[in-house]
Amino acid sequence: MIDMHCHILPGVDDGVKTPEEAEQSLLLFKKNGIDKIIFTPHMNHPSVKTKYEEIIKSFENIKPLAEKTGIDVFLGSELYLTPDYSKYIPILDRFVMIELPTAIYPIYFLDTLFNIELDGYEIILAHAERYKWLYENRSLQKKLKDMNVYFQINTEGTDTAEGKYYIENDYVEFISSDFHGFNKRKEIDFSKYITYENIQKKMSKILGI
Ligand SMILES: [Fe+2]
């Protein structure tokens, strides 16, 4: 199975801090049936500052260790979308995963989104269940789906009203942990990957891994 949204790449953002913690995290995922992981460190985040060069270096360092645990690892990013975004790391050279302010609709959203699509990338909206303004706007949900925007839901997000609504409407293509390390947030409920096996299948098909 696949996890395509996590902060396991050590020492680059507000996620996992050390290579040892990264190894422990990878072993935990492996034990629970995840054998493909896409690291998605924050980029352009207003409060979590990250550097492209450090991300690349950390990935090169951790790759051999990850391979030893029997997990295929890939590098992407979680781009905090602003009108002046610059650098991001597309997932598998095809997908750009974006996050947005949760409380207020960002007026630049559709324009910026469209620009990334014009650059030739497909869009994945990270933890779609978190955006109040999206949940309350059905025509926007429809518009995003017409623009072929994929929705990713966090494992714990499947228990929220928003997550359930998106799943019921067949709006969800990705389910992942958004794991930030052992000191952050609650434990990952790995049973969700099994419960939503159909979403896992969609993920694998869309990503081609
Ligand atoms: Fe994240």
**For 48-83, what is each residue's pLDDT tens digit?**
999 999 999 999 999 999 999 999 999 999 999 999
pLDDT of residue 187: 85
Q: Round to whole Å and give the CA distance between 63 and 9.
A: 10
Residue 9 CA: distances (Å) to CA of 20, 63, 80: 11, 10, 17
Interval between CA 7 and ligand 1 midpoint (Å) = 6
Q: Ligand 1 centroid to 9 CA: how many Å?
A: 12
- Residue 136's domain comprises 2-207
CATH number at 188 reads 3.20.20.140
pLDDT at residue number 185: 66
**For residue 136, is pLDDT > 90?**
yes
CA of 192 to the centre of ligand 1 (A): 18
Looking at the DSSP assignment, which residues form a beta bridge with residue 97?
Answer: 78, 124
Per-residue model confidence (pLDDT) at position 22 = 97
What's the average model confidence in pLDDT over 163-188?
A: 94
CA of 72 to the centre of ligand 1 (A): 19
The mean pLDDT value for 174-186 works out to: 91
- pLDDT over threshold 80, residue 186: no
Count of structural domains within the chain: 1
